[in-house]
Chain A
Amino acid sequence: MLADAADARLSQGLIVVQEVSRRIARRLGGQIPLDDLVGIGNLALVDVLRDHDASRASFASYATARLKQAIIDGLRRETHGRTIASRVAALMASERLAEAQAEASAEPTASIEEDQSALARLLGGHAAALAVGLLTTPPDPQVVETPEEAVQWAEGAHVVKGAIAALPERERALMERYYYGGEGLESIADDLGITKSWASRLHKQAVLTLTRAVQGGGVAAQGPLAAG
């Protein structure tokens, strides 16, 4: 009976791996072979099956969230230094923001205007997170085609770097090593003497802080990126 349940969960997990991989492949414009993503996902599935706690979340939602994170994280390491890396980093930052937002209690709203404001904040936050992720890596030369675009990218990258430098010590170390150094979260956590889950929380907090800095011009010395 237990073996049947385990088999069923494994089958379900393999389906989730396929779904999440297809979604990420689509978001990256078909630049990464689906099989590569499925390979990363299948490896991560072992941990997902081991760690799932049925009393806390359904397997499908838990596996989807964990596998999405694991595949993007694995992809980020494998693509470090490659041209697609900026979009992978952008997706990672956006996913972290989504997780941070999901953990924050959503205030019930009384009017459609408040919902519209909340939607604008959500979209603005994700746009900023994507921009932060993009600008932590060198641009794809086929996307940045003109000297003017290269200068704009460099200016934006400078702003993001300044915002990261202004983070609290551990968040700064984590973000610099993770985004600029291409290191994995686990090895950074080991070096910092914290658990991987705590490192993950620091990462989310840092992304949240950076998106606010980018949106609100919190790095005013360099000029707010969001000033247009």
Chain B
Amino acid sequence: MPQRIGRHAAVDGEKEEVARPRAARYSRRVHPLLADPWIAAQIDAAVAPYVNRLPPDEVAWMREQLAETLAEDDAAAELLQRAKPVHVEQSGEVRRGALVTPISAARRSKRAG
């Protein structure tokens, strides 16, 4: 893979270059769903084919958009609930489905209201 000047760590025998900060044109945020390692892994797998095809800023933006889709699209949110692996509660109860996140809790409360 071709090296990108200014962004990769120096290898043996090369002069270390200082990472050049990218222009902060767009405000950056990390979607709350990306804090969940399992969800982040699914999203990373989806954007993986584009990692060396699109600029890093656009790949990062795509990650945010996929998280937003999982949070906002009803069908996607329900599929996520079903697909999230079984986990064991502290009580020992085994449960299938996504952990309750701030977003899913907000969605449920919105629907109930």
Contacts and interface: CB of A to CB of B under 8 A. Distances in A.
Interface of A: 23, 26-27, 29-31, 83, 86-87, 90-91, 94, 98, 101-102, 106, 109, 112, 115-116, 118-120, 122-124, 126-127, 130-131, 134, 139-140, 142-146, 148-149, 152-153, 155-156, 215, 225-228
Contacts of A120: 42, 45-46
Interface in B1-57: 2, 4-5, 22-23, 25-29, 42-43, 45-55, 57
B75 interface: yes
Interface of B: 2, 4-5, 22-23, 25-29, 42-43, 45-55, 57-58, 61-62, 64-66, 68-70, 72-73, 75-76, 79-80, 82-83, 85-86, 96
A166 B29 CA distance: 37
A212 B102 CA distance: 33
Given A122-B79, A156-B54, A142 B49 contact: no
A225 B80 CA distance: 26
Kindly name the residue among A119, A148, A155, A156 whose own CB sees the greatest number of chain B CB atoms within 10 A: A119
B65 to A, nearest CB: 6
B27 A145 contact: no
Contacts of A145: 22-23, 55
Given A120-B42, A152-B53, 6 more contacts: A23-B68, A98-B75, A126-B65, A143-B25, A155-B53, A225-B50
B65 A153 contact: no
A127 B75 contact: no
Given A87-B61, A98-B69, A144-B55, A123 B82 contact: no
9 contacts: A30-B26, A91-B65, A98-B69, A101-B75, A127-B47, A127-B50, A131-B62, A225-B53, A228-B52
Nearest to A30: B27
Given A112-B83, A134-B58, A145-B55, A225 B65 contact: no
A144 B50 CA distance: 14
A24 to B, nearest CB: 10
A126 B80 contact: no
B74 to A, nearest CB: 9
A153 B55 contact: yes
A112 B62 contact: no
A198 B58 CA distance: 32
Contacts of A23: 68, 72
A153 B86 CA distance: 40
A29 B27 contact: yes
B49 A123 contact: no
